Amino acid sequence: MCGIVGFTGRHEAAPILLEGLSKLEYRGYDSAGIAVRKGDTPVRIVKAKGRLKGLYEKTDSGKAMEGTCGIGHTRWATHGEPSENNAHPHCSDDMNVVAVHNGIIENYQELRDKLSRKGYTFYSQTDTEIVTKLVDYYYKKYNIGPIDAIAKTMVRVRGSYALAIMFKDYPGHIWVARKDSPMVIGVTDGECYVASDVPAMLSYTRNVYYIDNLEMADLGNGEVHFYNLDGDEVKKELTEITWDAEAAEKGGFEHFMMKEIHEQPKAIRDTFNSVVKDGRIDLSSVGLTDDIIKDISQVIIVACGSAYHTGMVDQYVMEEFARIPVRVELASEFRYRNPILNPNDLVVIVSQSGETADSLAALREAKAQGIRTLGIVNVVGSSIAREADNVFYTLAGPEIAVATTKAYSTQLICGYLLALQFAYVRGTMDEERYLSLIAEVASIPEKIEKIIEDKERLQFIAARLANSQDVFFIGRGIDYAISMEGSLKMKEISYIHSEAYAAGELKHGTISLIEDGTIVISVATQDDLYEKTKSNMVEVKSRGAFIVGITHYGNFEIENTANYSIYVPKLDTHFMASLAVVPLQLLGYYVSIGRGLDVDKPRNLAKSVTVE
């Protein structure tokens, strides 16, 4: 949620800040602002409500704001409506302190009351203005330097934050602080960058520092110094980012989502090849030895949104292959329900960003109980990747579209490979099947390529869907898990109400919603459940539903029931989610386009949910 950038160096800051914000717009886009300073002249702040375009216009693409040091922000509103007044940067009354913030300050009301008693007034409804003024208050009250003033503030606030701050007395310097909100710092050629996420600085540098929780940093004169809460300097290692800048660009596609759908075969191959050598799985890079795998008594998969849907697939696949109990839980529920965990359990946290607040809290809850944790994570160096005992990286590269596609697909691959390795090591699968199923997973990218080649056909049915009020997705077993993801893809980018149901549940209530013309998308890829799902299709069809059936080639008689059929290549049924999801992603995309919506930045959403 919210994107932060900062730059201090020799070049003009404003264009760099605007470009950085354009790379972070997926994190929030209801308003944006920048603060720039030329030498020791006063800081200038410009803000605009709505998309970044407005800020570009107001600043003449940055040309209207001179100065080589500045901070910027693109906002996803938490405290206070989206408005210019509530947009960041915020400042103390005398512009002594200017700051941008990502996160939520939980005790903001108490701090606001305290500062009001000290004579501060407030012009916005944001918690950020309160933190900014608290820093100013400590700075002046104790007559201390920026690090001490920020440290005092960090001790006093509760919640999560990534802060970038400028002080009137320190031209050319940016101070940053972090707790539970991501932030990276880059240095190159005597210039310093800070941002919520790597793509914002990729065109300038690939050498970054990760600032840890409850740490601060001082950026200036081409150097970065890190400090802990005691104000002691902390040494850090530079990390090289291996993504290239192009991976974070649209590369000729109209939207990131379409580009990322096309990148799925490569992302899957890369993830697969990272742990499969000579046709066998080797989890040594993940740190899961055979002895560890043999000792695990239960697997609990915890995640949010689409990542949770991959956990649903994993549950079916892993229980079936490895005969080990698998639970899958929503992180937002898990963290607050005092879960019962056993010493030999493995808690698997699945997260593209590695920063989702609920998933991170679930990880910490499991660790606090002394349970081994495994992160399936895309963003290298993210909080979950750093805090989990073991990490299985999805090599999807930067995912920019808010609606996930390639990260989801690579998360599935990690789940399959874990399930296969667990089964083999624990003796529930013989060598021949193990090797043939690994080869089956290896065939997925090529099959996805075939589905994508045929994508134009889906536009026909997307046109029919674009005018509907409601869409229902049904399926059984893994097809139910696929339906959940298909439904989320549809609703989040097309704003059409959609629901997914386990097909067998329909007659326990939902079927009363089916009337003439209601669209039902039936996912029927599981051969052993095919006849059952077909009966459910017949039930809704006889009540007037318009049925879109998704199955694999060969099941052509689905056309006797479905009004429109979509076929994907044949594959072992356990892995069918990887194929069936692709037409559903494409449908969501085309319906969104058909309705004239912003596919990559759906309303009210942000890519990385770093607040509860």
Minimal distance, residue 592 CB to ligand F6R, in Å: 12
- Displacement of CA 207 from its chain's centroid (Å): 22
Closer Cβ to ligand F6R, 271 or 306, answer by number: 306
With binding defined as CB under 6 A, does residue 592 bind ligand F6R? no
| Residue choice 68, 359, 383, 525 for contact with ligand F6R (CB under 6 A) | 359
Alpha helices in 123-263 (DSSP H): 127-141, 146-156, 256-262
Contacts of 261 (CB under 8 A, 6+ apart): 405, 406, 452, 582, 585, 586, 589
**Does the annotation mark 607 as catalytic?**
yes
Distance CA 432, CA 56 (A): 60
307 binds ligand F6R (CB under 6 A): yes
For position 525 contacting ligand F6R by CB under 6 A, the verdict is no
Task: State the Cα–Cα distance between residues 180 and 395, nearest whole angstrom.
Answer: 23
Window of 279-287, 312-320, 322-330, 346-354 that interacts with ligand F6R by CB under 6 A:
346-354
In the bound state with ligand F6R, the residue whose beta carbon lies nearer, of 23 and 47, is 23
- Closest contact distance (angstroms) between CB of 362 and ligand F6R is 11
Q: State the DSSP string of 73-115.
A: EEE--SSS-SSTTTSSPEE-TTSSEEEEEEEEETTHHHHHHHH
Stretch that binds ligand F6R, among 194-202, 246-254, 301-309, 412-420 (CB under 6 A): 301-309
Tell me the helix, strand and coil percentages in the chain, rounded to 5: 40, 25, 35
Tokens matching residue 271: 């993830």
How many residues bind ligand F6R (CB under 6 A)? The answer is: 15
Nearer CB in complex with ligand F6R: 404/555: 404
Instruction: Return the structure tokens found at 241.
Output: 């980012």
Judged by beta carbon, residue 86 or residue 359, the one nearer ligand F6R is 359
Q: Figure out which of the listed residues 68, 153, 352, 522 binds ligand F6R, where binding follows CB under 6 A.
A: 352
Active site residue 491: no
Q: Which three-class secondary structure state does DSSP give residue 4?
A: strand
DSSP 513-526: G--TT-EEEEE---
Residue 197 within binding range of ligand F6R, rule CB under 6 A: no
Q: Which is nearer to ligand F6R, 328 or 488 (CB)?
A: 488
Residue 547 DSSP label: E
Give yes or no for a cis peptide into 445 (omega within 30° of 0). no
> Does 356 participate in binding ligand F6R (rule CB under 6 A)?
yes
Question: Per the residue annotation, which of 23, 49, 152, 607 is the catalytic one?
Answer: 607
CB of 86 to ligand F6R, least distance (A): 24
Give the strands of the sheet with 44-49, arranged side by side. Answer: 44-49, 31-37, 69-75, 3-8, 191-195, 184-188, 207-210, 239-240
Residue 205 binding ligand F6R, by CB under 6 A: no
Q: Does 305 bind ligand F6R (CB under 6 A)?
A: yes
Q: Assess 404 for contact with ligand F6R (CB under 6 A).
A: yes
Question: Scanning the structure block, which residue is given the tokens 């990385």?
Answer: 608
Member of 348, 609, 610, 611 binding ligand F6R (CB under 6 A): 609
Ranges within 457-496 binding ligand F6R (CB under 6 A): 488, 492
Nearer to ligand F6R, 19 or 180 (CB): 180
611 near ligand F6R, rule: CB under 6 A: no
Q: Is 403 in the site for ligand F6R (CB under 6 A)?
A: yes
Bin 60: left if φ > 0, else alpha if -120 < ψ < 50, else beta: left
Task: For residues 150 and 141, give the distance between their C-alpha atoms in angstroms, rounded to a whole number.
Answer: 13
Give least dist CB 487 to ligand F6R, A.
11
d(CA 362, CA 232): 30
Among 185, 304, 346, 524, binds ligand F6R (CB under 6 A): 304
Among all residues, which ones are annotated catalytic? 2, 607
Positions in the binding site for ligand F6R (CB under 6 A): 304-307, 351-353, 356, 359, 403-404, 488, 492, 608-609
